[in-house]
């Protein structure tokens, strides 16, 4: 059994909570959860990580779970926490993966920690907002109205966003307590995503993560939403390590236009676009094995391509 809760103090004096799964002596991978989320967002069959020979480390990003909030943070600030966690664990070099709201934070580390990150995966990650990426209408196009509503709260500012997310967190917890597969009730999800949410393992993780992610409030969720709509603190053109960009063509939480923009703008990236998957991918255990092969050996999933090569 892994270690579901460890904590340490960052150089800035904040508490950061993390968990270790799989083989403690295996290839190190730091996995960044989405928005919202926490260190419990992982595949609950720990033997999958152990059999792949990987030490899979998750942490509560700033303001989530048991980690202290970092008020006013931008996307780039996650790099300092990742570096501090790697130092705490004695990892000189490591693979890095993150999905959804964790995706931009992977890109930040790939740009700012090139001597530490071996390879990265940005899965269904959002693109920058505005002049630096997709303009508002493009950013929101194809996004489910429930997500658009959340973005509009963020546009209105923290004083609007915070109480709305507090109320939303309460509604989600009430739904999950009855049926975890209804965590995204009200969203017009693809059939693929509905199938993923109905998996017993997914429901276990949803139940665990939902009641932990906001145990000390919704500050992490608030800060993520605000950070995505502001300058990220780095330019994706600065990414200097190999990154795999993954996205699903039936995703209504982070529509394909985001993945397409990242594919066109992250230097030297490899791209894997799944024409049936939504936000949650397909076949989790197969996906984890593919991800580990990329992060540890540089072997991209079948069907991946290089935009740079395709352009020639």
Determine the pLDDT at residue 308.
74
Q: How many CB atoms lie within 10 A of CB 26?
A: 17
pLDDT for 3: 87
Residue spans of the chain under pLDDT 70: 1, 309-312
In the chain, the number of structural domains is: 1
Which tens digits make up the pLDDT trace of 274-292? 999 999 999 999 999 999 9
Read off the CATH number of the domain in which 273 is found.
3.40.50.1820
Structure tokens at 210: 């939902």
pLDDT reported for residue 46 = 94
Q: What integer pLDDT is reported at residue 205 of this predicted model?
A: 98
Global pTM exceeds 0.95: yes
Enclosing domain of residue 282: 3-311
Residue by residue, DSSP assigns 78-106 as HHHHHHHHHHHHT-SSEEEEEEGGGHHHH
Residues in the chain: 312
User: How far is C-alpha 279 from the geometric centre of its chain's CA atoms?
Assistant: 11
pLDDT tens sequence across 164-220? 999 999 999 999 999 999 999 999 999 999 999 999 999 999 999 999 999 999 999
């Amino acid at each position: 059994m892994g270690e579901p809760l460890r904590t340490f103090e960052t150089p800035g004096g904040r508490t950061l909570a993390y968990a270790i799964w799989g083989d403690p002596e295996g290839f190190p991978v730091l996995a960044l959860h989405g928005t919202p989320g926490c260190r419990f967002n992982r595949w609950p069959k720990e033997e999958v990580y152990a059999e792949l020979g990987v030490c899979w480390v998750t942490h509560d990003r700033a303001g989530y779970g048991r980690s202290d909030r970092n008020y006013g943070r931008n996307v780039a600030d996650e790099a300092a926490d990742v570096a501090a966690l790697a130092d705490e664990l004695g990892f000189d070099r490591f693979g890095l993966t993150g999905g959804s709201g964790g995706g931009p934070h992977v890109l930040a580390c790939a740009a700012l920690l090139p001597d530490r990150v071996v390879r990265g995966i940005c899965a269904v990650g959002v693109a920058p907002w505005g002049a630096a990426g997709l303009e508002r209408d493009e950013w929101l196009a194809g996004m489910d109205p429930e997500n658009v509503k959340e973005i509009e709260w963020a546009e209105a500012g923290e004083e609007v966003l915070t109480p709305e997310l507090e109320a939303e967190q309460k509604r989600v917890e009430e739904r999950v307590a009855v049926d975890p597969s209804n965590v995204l009730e009200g969203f017009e999800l693809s059939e693929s995503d509905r199938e993923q949410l109905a998996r017993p393992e997914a429901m276990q993780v949803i139940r665990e993560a939902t009641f932990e992610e906001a145990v000390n409030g919704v500050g992490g969720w608030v800060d993520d939403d605000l950070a995505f709509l502001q300058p990220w603190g780095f330019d994706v053109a600065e990414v200097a390590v190999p990154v795999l960009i993954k996205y699903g063509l039936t995703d209504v939480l982070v529509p394909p236009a985001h993945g397409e923009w990242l594919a066109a703008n992250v230097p030297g990236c490899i791209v894997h676009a799944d024409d049936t998957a939504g936000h949650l991918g397909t076949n989790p255990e197969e996906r984890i094995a593919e991800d580990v092969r990329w992060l540890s050996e540089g072997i991209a999933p079948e069907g991946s391509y290089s935009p740079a090569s395709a352009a020639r």
